[in-house]
Structure 1
Amino acid sequence: MSGFEIFLGGGGEAWDQPQNLLLKYGNRHGLIAGATGTGKTVTLQIMAESFSRAGVPVFLADVKGDLAGLSQASDPASPKWKGLAERAASIGETDYQPESFPVVFWDLFGAQGHPIRATVSEMGPLLLSRLMDLNEVQEGVLNIAFRVADDGGLLLLDMKDLRAILQHVAENAAEISANYGQVAAASVGAIQRRLLVLENEGAESFFGEPALDLRHMMMRAPDGRGQVNVLAADKLMQSPRLYAIFLLWLLSELFEVLPEVGDPEKPKFVFFFDEAHLLFNEAPKALLAKIEMVARLIRSKGVGVYFISQNPIDIPDAVLGQLGNRAQHALRAFTPRDARAVKAAADTFRPNPRFDVAQVIGELAVGEALVSTLQQGGIPSMVERTKIRPPRSRMGPISPQERAAVVAASPLHGFYEEAVDRESAFEILRGRAEEPAPAAPGNDSAARGAGDSGYSWEDFKRDRQNGQAYEGQPYGGQTSGGQPYGGSGGGSGGRAYGRSAPAPAPQPKPRAPAQRRTDSVAETIAKSVARTATSQLTRQLVRGVLGGLFRR
């Protein structure tokens, strides 16, 4: 490898034609494809090594545990060494030596590396909706919840913050629907159930602080080599939706944070997306549009994205068209779909008159690939059958003791390990709910009706037992102007959330003895509803009080 290119392997009939990837075009994205067991992981490993040696930080997901070997030098005493050295010599790599690389291990669950966390606000409603597989209506409600939090200055950091704001939206649905759009209790309930599913998959540990600082992934070692960030993804792959959305979030964050640099002499960061088909499976149009935008525009930020998948047809055409550097390992045409994949892969290369590309794809041996990269002027090179060079780091997994030693020696050790839980939406909304209601002179029940804490179902039952239940009073009380209020207090000056402080509620009217004698709670409410069914206040009573009754 020179200072301007990385050596991928030897091509030609005698394997003596170097196949190089120009660093100048390393940010033009790429594809590593091929059937299982054909050598995709080794190609990913040698590319990560080469970018690191060129001073370019790298991020990759270790799906099977094999890529952890980047942290350890290949062992000349191992049985494999002789074969590796002979392979290197056969393609003209005369300086082949064992080498370890500056690896930092990461793990969303914190077990095999530094924990990775993001806040709920950073993830945003679009990616969360995709993560929870919400429909259009539910996604709209989630967007409303985020907007309510933003307008109210409520930080959404972790899962309990998200649950708290959803509960707040449900409890104040009438007011929020009037200001932001219709909020249905069924939609909120569906979102809350999906949150439970995410928690069961371990996503709760991902949301929180300290949130990942992307600069910590883009560092260089003291010797100038780029840091290799290895995400332990073996457990994460059991939740493929979380895996795909996390990597898309990481790409989106890079896109948002990094400045425009045009076409640098070498990439600022290289991102390998293994099992890339998981990102596109059943993805809605809005998400596909976002992926296409990131793939198309992040190049100008100096970031190269390399997708790894079994078939090129797993990648949408709009994204596939952005991938200028390609290494295609063997594909076996056992089914009609496989045959279409072979033809699609062959058609995307610049042809080589020496061989039939479609035929060679089915004949490639393990460790061989059809390689085409962008050359001077951004022109794709003629596709060449290539023997991929051997890695200098260890091929295969490492022991738990070796991993622990790497984590302990990391410059980030101790920075992310302890979670931080600062005041955010959950604590603020809980504090508002627990605030004592301001006392109104001479009548406790009137104070409860006018207080910022709202008029709850428990208040209603207690007042009814005392013969003081309000006639036609909306759930949560009412202002002197007849508008509903309630839910949360807080803010300066005792203002209710999103509204000015309500005026004292009207004095409760005592019920007549005949109404008190034997009516049940449900019967009394039903009669009140029947008498005032045409009024807006009663519709709020039906949604609030009866809803509270039947949820018990």
Structure 2
Amino acid sequence: MSSHHPALRLGQRRTVDGRTDLGPFELPTHDLLTHAVIVGSTGSGKTGLVTVMIEEALGAGVPVLVVDVKGDLPNLALAFPSLDPALVTPWIEPARGDVDGIADPPVVDEAIARHVRELAAWSLGEAELASYVARSFVRIVTPGTRAGEELHLLSALERPSPRWQSDPDSARAALAGAISLVLRLAGREGDPARSREHAFLSVLAERRVARGDAAPLEALVLEILDPPIASVGALEVDQFLGARQRAELAADLNTLIASPTLASWRRGGDLDVARWMEPVDGRTPATIVSVAHLDESERALALGVILEEVLSWVRTLPGTSRLRALVVMDEVYGLVPPHPSSPPTKRPIVSLFKQARAYGVGCVLATQNPMDLDYRALSNAGTWMLGRLPTDADRQRVMDALGEDKKKSTLSNIVKKLGPRWFVARDAKGSDVALLHPRWAMSLLRGPMTPREIRLACELGAQGG
């Protein structure tokens, strides 16, 4: 494998009949430029495979942005330079009935011994662990809570940005995303193409932010009531949006300003994907945006803004044939559903699948709900990894997406019978089909992490940084 396109060593490769070992399963990084879709029912090992893929990308020097919906992927912060019990103990599940809730030494020793044994089967030891930890950096961003790094979801609106001078198109796209979020939270139409309120707020806000000022909601509410402009487009302000309509909009936004939910989304660091992708002290970053603590509607709104910002960042990049970054979305239920559903997350995800390749950015989508994916939107995916799918409906949906005749396809029968941690890996053209048994993850996989556990991981600095 050439150094120009390093490979991700994901595990073991076998023939689809399972009888012949074909050696290490190596996925060239540039294969991910055409994106990947991973499906598998609960217990298939899907999240483990996603974790290994992220670890391998970081090891290859590829920065990763992770969208975490279930709370599993903050486990990436649980990789340690050594398996010293002092480091590992807080993350080992105690025995049932343990009074103090802290795993006792025999339980810890057994867990460490298993981790060592499983890693050794893949020729990974403490030297490899130490090297991985030294070269990677994991941050956990938690919009709406102080568990990890807080995130100001409206920073493009409410904080000055030098992007208005360096890249006004990108800055304008970020501003549009923030205004869409505000309007949707207020229960109004947030689509820039259809909403007069969006156009009006955009004009008011851009007057401020383009000259280097902030456009806080409190100031915009006053300007809605007493506009500092005479017209919007070719129409006078009162013709474009009457005084009564403006008063109703101002009242709705004022109610929103008083909302505790919005207050929690107006704290923390700027929404700056470019910064997330930059090395940290020479270490390759993985930024995990965890929204497991949000309800379904809040999740869609928050991720809609974040993914629009990802898309804006991608469009600022020069073209390349190398994988420069990876965007991973685990458990995308509800984020990119079939037509006619169109949550705020769908447009940016579909656009990333269509456009990101040219800019060197690959996308990986994983789900245990195959029925929920818009496969037409994901038709550009070049790599498919299929874990066990026990139901006929799930298998039929995936076979349709791959252009397979379920009645004639041996692939459907293989997927039905797969055991845990086995996947059928297939390129979109069907020319390369094999079984993949993912390697053991270097990170401790303890299952979904609560906000308290995320806070503890950040405080302890599990990766030493």
Relative to the length of structure 1, the TM-score reads 0.61
- Indicate if the aligned counterparts of 2:137 and 2:463 stay in contact, CA closer than 8 A: no
- Indicate if the aligned counterparts of 2:44 and 2:421 stay in contact, CA closer than 8 A: yes
> What residue number does 2:444 align with?
394
> What residue number does 1:383 align with?
433
Q: Distance in 2 between matches of 1:287 and 1:232?
A: 15
> What residue number does 1:435 align with?
none
Q: Does 1:19 align with 2:21?
A: no
In structure 2, the CA distance between the partners of 1:285 and 1:276, relative to structure 1 (3 Å rule), is closer
Q: Distance in 1 between matches of 2:250 and 2:425?
A: 46
Instruction: Name the SS for the 2:436 alignment partner.
Output: strand
Which runs of structure 2 are paired with 1:109-508 in the superposition (5 Å)? 109=144, 111-117=146-152, 118-120=155-157, 122-124=174-176, 125-126=179-180, 129=183, 134-135=188-189, 139-151=195-207, 157-168=215-226, 178-179=236-237, 181-184=239-242, 185-186=244-245, 189=248, 193=252, 196=255, 200=259, 202-207=261-266, 211-222=270-281, 225-237=283-295, 239-256=298-315, 258-264=316-322, 267-281=323-337, 283-284=341-342, 288=346, 291-333=349-391, 339-349=392-402, 356-373=410-427, 381-396=431-446, 397=449, 400-406=455-461
> What residue number does 1:94 align with?
123
- Indicate if the aligned counterparts of 1:126 and 1:139 stay in contact, CA closer than 8 A: no
> What residue number does 1:6 align with?
8
Which amino acid is the alignment partner of residue 274 of structure 1? D
In structure 2, the CA distance between the partners of 1:150 and 1:103, relative to structure 1 (3 Å rule), is closer
Q: Distance in 1 between matches of 2:310 and 2:441?
A: 27
Which structure dedicates a bigger proportion of its chain to strand? 2
- Indicate if the aligned counterparts of 1:169 and 1:176 stay in contact, CA closer than 8 A: no
How many matched pairs?
Answer: 395
State the 1:47 CA deviation. 0.8
In structure 2, the CA distance between the partners of 1:359 and 1:165, relative to structure 1 (3 Å rule), is farther
Gaps of 5+ in 1: 334-338, 411-552
> What residue number does 2:97 align with?
none
Q: Does 1:38 align with 2:38?
A: no
State the 1:103 CA deviation. 1.0
- Indicate if the aligned counterparts of 2:7 and 2:29 stay in contact, CA closer than 8 A: yes
Which amino acid is the alignment partner of residue 8 of structure 1? L
Q: Name which one, 1 or 2, has greater alpha-carbon Rg.
A: 1
In structure 2, the CA distance between the partners of 1:380 and 1:134, relative to structure 1 (3 Å rule), is farther
Instruction: Name the SS for the 2:43 alignment partner.
Output: coil
Q: Distance in 2 between matches of 1:276 and 1:211?
A: 24
- Indicate if the aligned counterparts of 2:350 and 2:378 stay in contact, CA closer than 8 A: no
- Indicate if the aligned counterparts of 1:156 and 1:162 stay in contact, CA closer than 8 A: no
State the 1:197 CA deviation. 5.8
Which amino acid is the alignment partner of residue 44 of structure 2? T
State the 1:212 CA deviation. 3.2
Gaps of 5+ in 2: 85-107, 158-171
In structure 2, the CA distance between the partners of 1:296 and 1:192, relative to structure 1 (3 Å rule), is farther
Relative to the length of structure 2, the TM-score reads 0.71
Q: Does 1:29 align with 2:35?
A: yes
- Indicate if the aligned counterparts of 1:103 and 1:230 stay in contact, CA closer than 8 A: yes
Instruction: Name the SS for the 1:6 alignment partner.
Output: strand
Q: Distance in 2 between matches of 1:84 and 1:192?
A: 57
Which amino acid is the alignment partner of residue 406 of structure 1? G
Q: Distance in 1 between matches of 2:258 and 2:331?
A: 23
State the 1:226 CA deviation. 1.6
- Indicate if the aligned counterparts of 1:350 and 1:381 stay in contact, CA closer than 8 A: no
In structure 2, the CA distance between the partners of 1:403 and 1:288, relative to structure 1 (3 Å rule), is closer
Q: Distance in 1 between matches of 2:353 and 2:422?
A: 27
- Indicate if the aligned counterparts of 2:422 and 2:435 stay in contact, CA closer than 8 A: yes
Which amino acid is the alignment partner of residue 143 of structure 1? A
Q: Distance in 2 between matches of 1:308 and 1:187?
A: 43
Q: Distance in 2 between matches of 1:164 and 1:73?
A: 50
1:10-39 alpha-carbon deviations (Å, 9 max, x no partner): 232257323221112222211122223322
Q: Distance in 1 between matches of 2:28 and 2:257?
A: 42
Q: Distance in 2 between matches of 1:195 and 1:146?
A: 17
Q: Which has the higher contact order (CA 8 A, sep 6+)?
A: 2
Q: Distance in 2 between matches of 1:7 and 1:351?
A: 28
